A and B are shown apart, each in its own frame.
Chain A
Amino acid sequence: MTQFLPAFVLLPLCAFLLCLLVPRGKEKLLSSVVMAAGGLQFLLALAFTLFWWSEGRPVYNVKSLVLYASPDFEFFLDFYFDKVTAVFALTGAALTFLVAVFSRYYMHREPGFKRYFCTIILFFTGYNFVVFSGNLETLFVGWEMLGITSFLLIAFYRDRHLPVRNGFKVLSFYRLSDVCLILAMWMSHHLWHKNITYAQWNETAAVQGLLQNEYLPLLFVSLMMVIAAMLKSAQMPFFTWLPRAMEGPTTSSAIFYGSLSVHIGVFLLLRTYPLWESDTVVKTLVLLTGALTALVAGGITRVQATVKTQIAYASVAQIGLMFIEVALGFHLLALFHFAGNAFLRTYQLLVSPSVLSYKIHNMFFSFSPSPDKHRSGSFNRLRTQWYLLSLKEWNLDHLLHRHFWFPFKWAGKQLNYLFSQWSILVYLFLMLVSLVGYFFRKDLADHWTEMMPLLTLAVSLILLLMAFAGRAEAQRMWLLVVISQVFTAMALIWNSHIELHRLAMYLSGTFTGAVVGLFCLYKITEKEGQVNLHNYHGYAAYHPHYAFFFLLSCLALVGFPLTPTFVGIDLMFMSVSAGQPFHLAGVALNFLLLELTLLRIYCRVFLGQDKKHIHPVAYKSS
């Protein structure tokens, strides 16, 4: 029976592939595929859970597909089943089915009907990868899928300005959580010297032993996990993305931000609990985060004057409580709380348009004007201050932008001033130098060979930063990114731990992506003239196919699961040893900025308002 576990990701994956094949106009067929996948998944999960229950609720762990193997390292997918999996899988399948049925007529004749259903089912695939995962690698596969599909659904109305802008904003938060997760993976590889499964974590010895000897690395792993959870579950201080994510059709907001996606942080905490169970630092952090979020988001909920943001913040506050429950060890309670909250918020979001007639009707019969109270005194002033802070979301959105993202943008801008158009030649020359140097590395002084990886990495980051903030032609920015990736690869060669075939694996995806992406941009330029990144151009309206393939090539470059680059990225990280903090920082920054830079190009070239005004254009503020 346990061999059956991979089916829970294969089923939605197959449904996704099937959806891709269905022609655009076939609304009934598309929705039926997604409904059937959701429904069938629910029934199978139910049957499996019953079987598992009858077996006395053991923990299942199945090692599945090995993607890559070398003597010292193995990369494999692993599946796992316990009560946490059961609750998340059943709730997820039930809600997906529900939303699919709801959307069948709700989305009728909406442009992007197919896009919507494909994205929903891909999201569901990712969700199941996460909840059925047995090791961090498998979890990461799903984690990335959730990030990208979230972005695609927030920016679903891609011809308007705000959805695209907010979609990108949410993506930047999600990417941060990806970075945290991959850092945790990196450290755990070095801690256990293998691709560890949850089942092995649960053997308390594995963790307890480390607590004595390698406390700091273990703390690092736990902290990264907790921060990843905080980001994905919109906890203090990261919650400002959640209300801004309510840009897609109500149904997608319901399933993503009302229920499934936003609770993934709770799942991660439950999964990693054995790691930090006896660590007071992490536990205190989780408790504090939960409590603070509950308090602050609770206040923000009360001042929301729009129905969707109100539900979003109410949900965030409840998730804060779930964090507390998990930290205190009330896991069953947390699971019930999750399921109840997910159903409640989904329902509330789905019926949110009704609130107008319902509440106005109620008001008509029960309204009593609040008497003019001219309250004063310091307590009331404090209350007013709290009100104002809540209304401004404690300024967190602004602060995070100013103190985290702005420095990157600023640096990129300065670099762009520094280097001119001819710089590409300089980079090519540098690359040549680096390559030549590599072949004659034996003749070089030792401190040179030690410095080279960092130097190359620095060049790669400079290039990436330039592209990240660049406003010039899209093709040039694209080339900058590609060259920066070559430098990254070179840095890893210099770092000497990596074998060439690992590199080939990484570069194969990158190369294909780079070429396809460049081709798409070339074609767009040929048809539409130079495309700069100063504005949004909205060319998806004219060239949907190029937009699609360009998106695919972006994903190939960033190492989206299902592309060969994906394994490569993991390998890349593994080649950085535990004693190389600067290398690690460089690779992590590269990982963070790469996806954002590429998708920024995608957004600006293909999404946003139609600049040619052949299709109707909405106001920028709408």
Chain B
Amino acid sequence: MKEAESGKKSVYTGPDTADESLAGKTGSDSATAHFDLKELLHAIRYYLPAQSALKDFIHHNSLHAFQHMPFYQAIFKAAGVFGYRVTLQLREYRSLFANGRIREDILDRILNDRKGEAGVQRWKHYLLAKPYESYAPPLIGRLRAHWKDEFHIDLDALVHPLLFRLLSAYLDQGISSWKFPHAEGGFLASLYQLERSGPVSLFKTARVRKLFLSEAVEPERLLQEIVGDERYFSQYLYDQQFSHQGWSGFVASVEEKPEALLDRRKITLGELIVFELYLELDALEFTFGKNRLPLCARVGENPLPLFADHPLTELNEVLSMWQDAFEWSYYDEVLAGIRGGAGQQRNTVERKIFQAVFCIDERECSLRRHLEQVAPACETLGAPGFFGVEFYFQPLNGKFYEKLCPAPVTPKYLIKEYGAAAPRKHELLYADHTHRLWTGWLSSLTLGFFAGIKSFQQLFAPKMSPAISNAYAHMNGTASLSIENTDPEHRENGLQIGFTVEEMSQRVEAQLRGMGLIRDFAPIVYIIAHGSSSANNPHHGAHDCGACSGRPGSVNARVFAFMANHAGVRAILKGKGLHIPEETQFVGGLHDTAADELAFFDEDLLSISNRDLHAGAIKDFEKALDLNARERSRRFASVNTRAGIKKVRRAIRERSVSLFEPRPELGHGTNTLCIVGRRELSKHVFLDRRAFLNSYDYRTDPEGRLLPNIMRPLGPVCGGINLEYYFSRVDNYKIGAGTKLPHNVVGLFAVANSSDGDLRPGLPLQMIEVHDPMRLLIIVEHDPEVVLKTIQSSPEMYEWYINEWVHLVAVHPETRQFFRFSRGHFRSYEPLCAEVPAVRDVQAMLESAREMKTNRIEDATKENLPVMILNG
């Protein structure tokens, strides 16, 4: 499961104040207001993309800056300012309607709800047939466009290449072998040093060089020279920074969290702006010389109020209704499916052979389904993949700590690996010396031919190599971990090494009670974390477990198993009424979601009787993995789903280490649902790997005391993932990272399209093409009143629901009635879909599913299978 950051707003003073100040700042009435750079910086930073270094890929709502507003108002405002596409296009909705993907009865119901019976016909005509001019030029960039239109100068082309080059060289983590000189003092300070070192200059004109070297020039003075009129300063700086929002966003994120770079650098957004102003002034001086005029000399119109609120246009409303219809066409089937199974009698097994706890990640949804099918006597559960234990981890010989818990949490504990280090090999072909002159000459003549052979080997018999990120290399399974703390004074850099028995028991208890696992323990309880191995993939962090801050969760699984097996912990738990039988043992494991491999840790600790059970369970896991691999293979062009099952499995494994495969796995693509409840609620429904599954048993928590803790992370975590996929899908060019094929790794922290291009935050095309852009539907199995109380328990949590960035439905435990949350209330919801089809042979159905024809939404959505009742 990927963790999401709760947005930047918690760090700043808050969205409302920031927004108001912006509206005032750039408003035409601000003519009298004094230009305040500090305030402006604060505001710009807030709107920039918030992606940190790629090694810590944290999913978040791409439009986090607008989250304090209702969803549709927010996205259409963002679209107006920045030119983003924030929904599918009108013609796309219409073709989805034509091919049946958007259902007419749902559309009618939505029209009826929104426009009343009188308006249905008219609005339906608007939706289906009325032509609209869909493009409105964004507000951003209009002022700066005068350079090109009025002065016939392409300032971007003159300034960006050198600026990007300097930024990447300065921030570089280890690509260049010659480090930036004098990098210690901060960005501008080192540039001063550089400029002072001799006649070679960063600038083309002597005047700007002199100005720069005087060091005392205020940014306002530069702006005065370039722009000319104080009223336009802030709009100009917005335009300037959003002409390369990737770089600006990255600089702002490094300023805020310098620890995101292993080799730390001091840089601020303010420094970037100042230096960019110098470069601009230089380019203008060089081009126009004495005839240079400030921009405002040829600007006719008043400054634009960039962030003023506008009412939704008719087209906005049309699009929002289409989007609702698209979403509810699917949700409705899901709810009908969940209800459809209610009548079915499920024979519940008295004695479970084992229990397996997985991450709530929707990629584990299918593995759990297959496991339950292969071994009907087992039970599977879901919980966030750090399993409630938060700490920093230091691998043996590691120079840094890795945070293994959700990003917003700051742990106080450190767990160290000792005894054996994860094997670490080197790849000669990457070494710096191949880029030097003489060693490069030698390497060409020797390594060169080896490279030729190696590339053929990688093409025809791909295998794991040091160049590939390996989920199992995160921790050595045979190493020891410093989990138990016996002396609280045992600390390192302010962190306590290990947990005391008391601290362990608190975490185990919270975790087990949260899942409702307080009785009927099986002899073995597996704790299965997940990670992902992938080759040639700078975005590999986005595939790992984000509840562990974008890393594999293997250490957490092992740590939790150790704690739950600890005799002292069990004694304390028993005292609190949570009795874990003597013979029950917890075993940690790691599922590689790309290769579909599973490994267990500390198996030698198993008792004799459990060893046999474990051997049997391994067989079940293997069978389930085979089936899971085959299910995934239906989306992969390189694998023939109908080949023998072992062949498919091997092909999937090879695929995860294939350098030529830009889709090692599909990550969170298609995620749409989050189900909080017992497994029985959705066990009978085929959900096609689209649901986050969080175990929770209302019977063990009738008053909902545990619910806030369970639901608090759902917005930022699952909602954040979902919205990042949503926005990267609807505008892969501006919010997403575009196709990854031309990507060029910059400084080991980001990707750009070429040598002179801006950084590309967001998700690449290859990750989102299977995704249907829909908001998350959270389904909670509890009394609506309890759920309402829960979401209202904190304003940050409530914002997600009241502003409709996620949808929420409660399932009443007794009546099984659905209640949909909308505008502050739960209202009864009756699915329009009478019943969903049943499927007898899931395997055959999966085998016959077709790969999409093109990745346009009309075709791509057909690859996502409908909701079905599992029968038999």
Contacts and interface: CB of A to CB of B under 8 A. Distances in A.
A3 B157 CA distance: 52
A360 B173 contact: yes
Contact of B637 (A105, A251, A344): A105
Contacts of B193: 384
Contacts of B169: 303, 305, 391
Interface stretch (B212-220, B428-436, B512-520): B428-436
A108 B769 CA distance: 12
Contacts, number: 320
B650 to A, nearest CB: 16
A305 B176 contact: yes
A361 B176 contact: no
B741 A318 contact: no
B410 interface: no
A381 B466 CA distance: 39
B398 A247 contact: no
> Counting chain A CB atoms within 10 Å of each CB, which of B171, B200, B264, B744 scores highest?
B744
A227 B515 CA distance: 73
Given A341-B444, A355-B745, A365 B399 contact: yes
Q: Identify which of A101, A106, A362 gathers the most chain B CB atoms within 10 Å of its CB.
A: A106
A617 interface: yes
Interface stretch (B303-311, B602-610, B752-760): B752-760
A362 B200 CA distance: 35
Interface string A152-164: 0000110010110
B483 to A, nearest CB: 22
B617 interface: no
A248 B753 CA distance: 9
A304 B776 CA distance: 42
B430 A355 contact: yes
Dominant SS at the A interface? helix
B446 A340 contact: yes
A552 to B, nearest CB: 26
Given A306-B746, A308-B744, A352-B744, A247 B135 contact: no
Contact of A304 (B54, B176, B434, B742): B176
A350 B455 contact: yes
A303 B176 contact: yes
Contact of B443 (A344, A383, A617): A344
Contacts of B135: 612-614
B160 interface: yes
Interface stretch (B239-247, B325-333, B811-819, B834-842): B239-247
Contacts of A253: 742
Contact of A353 (B245, B538, B734, B855): B538
Interface stretch (A294-302, A458-466, A557-565, A585-593): A294-302
A379 to B, nearest CB: 11
A353 to B, nearest CB: 5
B469 A361 contact: yes
Contacts of A340: 443-449
A105 B758 CA distance: 27
Interface of B is mostly: loop
Nearest to B430: A358
Interface string B165-205: 11011011111111111101000000001100111101010
A372 B466 CA distance: 32
Contacts of A622: 246, 733, 738, 752-753, 757-758, 760
Contacts of A398: 204
A620 B243 contact: yes
A257 to B, nearest CB: 11
B374 interface: no
A356 B55 contact: yes
A362 to B, nearest CB: 8
B558 interface: no
A392 B468 CA distance: 33
A314 B434 contact: yes
B482 interface: no
B198 A384 contact: yes
B111 interface: no
A389 interface: yes
B860 to A, nearest CB: 10
Contacts of B54: 356
Of the listed residues B160, B246, B452, the one surrounded by the most CB atoms of chain A closer than 10 A to its CB is B452
Contact of A366 (B162, B399, B659): B399
Interface residues of B, number: 116
Nearest to A304: B176
A613 to B, nearest CB: 4
Interface residues of A, number: 104
Name which of B537, B637, B741 has the most chain A CB atoms within 10 A of its CB.
B741
Interface in A387-439: 387-392, 398
B132 interface: no
Contacts of B434: 314, 344, 348
Interface in B449-469: 449, 451-452, 454-456, 459, 466-469
B753 A160 contact: yes
A618 to B, nearest CB: 4
B538 A356 contact: yes
Interface string A317-349: 110010000000000000011011111101110
Nearest to A250: B741
Contacts of B792: none
Nearest to B436: A298
Nearest to B446: A340
A351 B659 contact: yes
B441 A250 contact: no
Contacts of A341: 444, 448
A306 B175 CA distance: 7
Contact of B197 (A308, A370, A381): A381
B448 A339 contact: yes
A106 B662 contact: yes
Nearest to B191: A388
B794 interface: no
Interface in B711-751: 731-734, 738-748, 751
Contact of A343 (B179, B194, B455, B757): B455
Given A305-B746, A340-B445, A357-B540, A321 B758 contact: no
Contacts of B172: 305
Given A105-B660, A246-B744, A363-B174, A384 B427 contact: no
Contacts of B199: 385
A292 B748 CA distance: 30
B250 to A, nearest CB: 13
B452 A343 contact: yes
B397 interface: yes
A165 B161 CA distance: 13
Nearest to B424: A365
Contact of B467 (A313, A321, A354): A354
Contact of B449 (A104, A250, A339): A339
B262 interface: yes
Contacts of B742: 156-157, 163, 246-250, 253
A302 B200 contact: no
B827 to A, nearest CB: 37
A243 interface: yes
B690 interface: no
A381 B452 CA distance: 42
Contacts of B638: 105, 108
Contacts of A612: 135
Which 10 A-B residue pairings sit nearest by Cβ, starting from the closest?
A340-B448, A343-B452, A305-B172, A347-B451, A384-B197, A613-B135, A302-B178, A344-B448, A249-B741, A357-B469
26 contacts: A27-B637, A94-B452, A101-B459, A110-B741, A246-B744, A247-B754, A249-B741, A304-B175, A318-B440, A337-B444, A337-B445, A339-B448, A341-B448, A344-B434, A344-B443, A344-B447, A348-B430, A352-B744, A354-B659, A355-B745, A358-B427, A382-B198, A388-B197, A613-B134, A616-B85, A621-B244
Given A340-B449, A343-B451, A364-B395, 13 more contacts: A27-B637, A98-B455, A157-B753, A340-B446, A342-B448, A347-B455, A351-B536, A359-B175, A369-B264, A370-B179, A384-B181, A392-B162, A392-B200
